Amino acid sequence: MADSSFDIVSKVDHQEAENAVNQARKEIEQRYDFKGTDASVAWSGEQILIKANAEERAKAVLDVLQSKLIKRGISLKSLDSGEPFASGKEYRIVSSLKDGISSENAKKISKIIRDEGPKGVKSQIQGDELRVQSKSRDDLQAVIALLKGSDLDIDLQFVNYR
């Protein structure tokens, strides 16, 4: 019998992320507590740029953006936000979305599978994703449960389960 396998990926639906940014922008324009603070959130190339005239307001805008991302089904583990910094008269926060699994995270995941996973499960790194193979589908289910339970700083999806 052929081996069963699945892929571990970390991808962000950019359309949903764009929708979340647009929803956050609309809410910031409407809300009373943001009136007169020059608060805004917008895409700047591949990054999300948050602006406000005070550090607290910038953090509040980031909070609104995070709530919209959660409502759209995007994990906050895939949002990489910096600290507020002063730029002229305004404060800015630059955020980006993490897409793909970095090589050190892939090695970490592979080590978890090797050390704590069932015997006979093989994992191999393929670019920014991992392929996990085993003869037993139950072992693959156990690996998925193990990785969901482990505390990793990236959002994982399990695809191509065969």
Tokens of 75: 């994990």
What local confidence, expressed as pLDDT, does residue 65 receive?
A: 92
Comparison of pLDDT for 162 and 67, the residue scoring more: 67
Q: Which domains does the chain have, with CATH numbers?
A: 4-11+101-159 (3.30.70.860), 14-97 (3.30.70.990)
Length of the chain: 162
pLDDT digits (tens, 9 = 90+) for 133-143: 989 888 888 88
- What pTM does this model have? 0.82
CA distances from 27 to 16, 41, 65, 140 (A): 16, 10, 10, 43
Task: Give the separation between CA 136 and CA 86, rounded to whole angstroms.
Answer: 55
